[in-house]
Amino acid sequence: MATINDNYLKLKAGYLFPEIARRVNTFVESNPSANIIKLGIGDVTEPLPEACRTAMIKAVEDMGDRSTFKGYGPEQGYGWLRETIAAQDFQSRGCDIDGSEIFVSDGAKCDSGNILDIFGKNNKIAVTDPVYPVYVDTNVMAGNTGENNDKGEYDGLVYLPISADNNFLADIPTEKVDLIYLCFPNNPTGATATKEYLKAWVDYAKANNAIIFFDAAYEAFITDDSLPHSIYEIEGAKDCAIEFRSFSKNAGFTGTRCAFTVVPKQLTAKAADGSEVELWKLWNRRQSTKFNGVSYIVQRGAEAVYSEAGKAQIKALVNFYLENAQIICNKLTGAGFDVYGGVNAPYIWLKTPHNLSSWDFFDKLLQTTNVVGTPGSGFGAAGEGYFRISAFNSRENVEEAMKRITEQFKA
């Protein structure tokens, strides 16, 4: 009989968001008339920007004409998109990133999991707690951890606690680690990082020959001009960081699928024989073998994000969700909740009232207000007692959800 990857058996029940969907479906089965408002998974609700749609329609027409038809594209993405990204997202901010260092993909979630393919098995890996669960689960699947222990943590991982006490900014470890996951603006807490804070991480990584996986999927939500959008705004980061970006949350591509990963050419890690190997080469090899690129039509849509019209439309879209976040923060604060994030980020992180556990609050909120959020404990043991509300929804739904919650949980 064939055998399985036993590491999968170490995973806790289901992945967080399908588990939430399962509980909501069960509730709806017994309460079919409930008007559910979903502020759980960070999935966008507003239509694709007009500039992107127009570019994609034109690209569909290109596919209908032999002279402009496209078959397989480059696995790394079309040069015109990679160059545009490098120029507009990085060079315009003073980051020396070249188009050849951009790898276009179908998602930052996939890339942040797949990146482990090119790393060895004996790395010491650090994650914050709470954390985006993909980082942890993909390490479990890859065999980089032991079992889930009685603290709800995986043996072998280094957990860096984040809470209101440290402004949701993990302390730089005192021990040596090899791989570090950082996400700013942060999912789930909505915290942001200053240049000084990221510089401390870059200095640590360089001193310890570590690699930072920097997830900047929410960078478009930064409105404070002093905050960095990319880790490459920090001197030395090209020597120690891989960055993940996405069109999902800025341009509404969660269903369209397009993202990219930046792997600087000078970034290296050690082979078993002690030699230093360029990670760019390995990632290029990995992508050429396991990935056939993002569709031409979608890449044209992504390119339009950088047009003048696209930039204005994306700004309006992001501002719309940020206004939602502001409404959520104001209403919940007014109702007596302790609220964090939601300013340069689409996520609001709150302390559950009356010391309820995260899942108890989830159930109570669902049953009494028909509003869905995400239990903080789903992001790690240190998320227990917290809860995440997403600002991705229509204005009407956000206002209605806040009305229901504030009526139910008056200060």
Is 15 known as a binding-site position?
yes
DSSP 351-366: EPGGG--HHHHHHHHH
Residue number with CB closer to ligand MLT (237 or 350): 350
Pairwise CA distance, residues 328 & 44, whole Å = 16
Q: Output the CA–CA distances (angstroms, integers) from residue 63 to 59, 166, 234, 259, 296, in the order listed.
A: 6, 52, 41, 22, 9
Q: Binding mask 303-342 vs ligand MLT (x if CB under 6 A, - otherwise)?
A: ----------------------------------------
Please check whether residue 335 is in contact with residue 409, taking contact to mean a CB–CB distance below 8 angstroms: yes
Residue number with CB closer to ligand MLT (55 or 258): 258
Longest CA–CA span in the chain (Å) reads 66
CB of 388 to ligand MLT, least distance (A): 8
- Map residue 259 onto helix, strand or coil: strand
Residue number with CB closer to ligand MLT (187 or 344): 187
Is 292 known as a binding-site position?
yes
Among 41, 87, 110, 381, the residue binding ligand MLT under the rule CB under 6 A is 41
CB under 6 A: which stretch of 36-44, 74-82, 135-143, 325-333 binds ligand MLT? 36-44
CB of 30 to ligand MLT, least distance (A): 25
Among 109, 238, 300, 331, the residue binding ligand MLT under the rule CB under 6 A is 109
The number of beta carbons lying within 10 Å of the beta carbon of residue 391 is: 25
Q: Binding mask 281-300 vs ligand MLT (x if CB under 6 A, - otherwise)?
A: --------------------
CB of 188 to ligand MLT, least distance (A): 6
Residue number with CB closer to ligand MLT (42 or 376): 42
Residue number with CB closer to ligand MLT (220 or 234): 220
Residue among 161, 170, 168, 172 at smallest CA distance from 188: 168
The number of beta carbons lying within 10 Å of the beta carbon of residue 174 is: 5
Taking CB under 6 A as the rule, does residue 42 contact ligand MLT?
Answer: yes
DSSP-derived pairing of the beta strands 125-129 and 179-183? parallel
Is 109 known as a binding-site position?
yes
Is 135 known as a binding-site position?
no
Among 128, 187, 287, 324, the residue binding ligand MLT under the rule CB under 6 A is 187
CB under 6 A: which stretch of 40-48, 64-72, 113-121, 402-410 binds ligand MLT? 40-48
In the region spanning residues 228 to 267, those forming contacts with ligand MLT, defined by CB under 6 A, are 248
CB under 6 A: which stretch of 35-43, 223-231, 352-360, 400-408 binds ligand MLT? 35-43
Q: Where are the alpha helices (DSSP H) in 305-375?
A: 308-334, 358-369
Pairwise CA distance, residues 15 & 38, whole Å = 17
Pairwise CA distance, residues 373 & 20, whole Å = 9
Residue number with CB closer to ligand MLT (109 or 199): 109
Q: 400: Cβ–Cβ under 8 A, 6 or more apart, which residues?
A: 37
Pairwise CA distance, residues 278 & 276, whole Å = 7
Amino acid in position 100: S
Is 388 known as a binding-site position?
yes
DSSP 161-223: E--GGGTT-PPPPSS--SEEEEESS-TTT-----HHHHHHHHHHHHHTT-EEEEE-TTGGG--
CB of 394 to ligand MLT, least distance (A): 17
Residue number with CB closer to ligand MLT (84 or 246): 246
Number of residues that bind ligand MLT (CB under 6 A): 6
**What are 7's two structure tokens?**
């590491």
Binding residues: 15, 42, 72, 108-109, 132, 187, 218, 246-248, 257, 292, 388
Contact residues: ligand MLT, CB under 6 A: 41-43, 109, 187, 248
Binding residues for substrate: 15, 42, 109, 132, 187, 292, 388
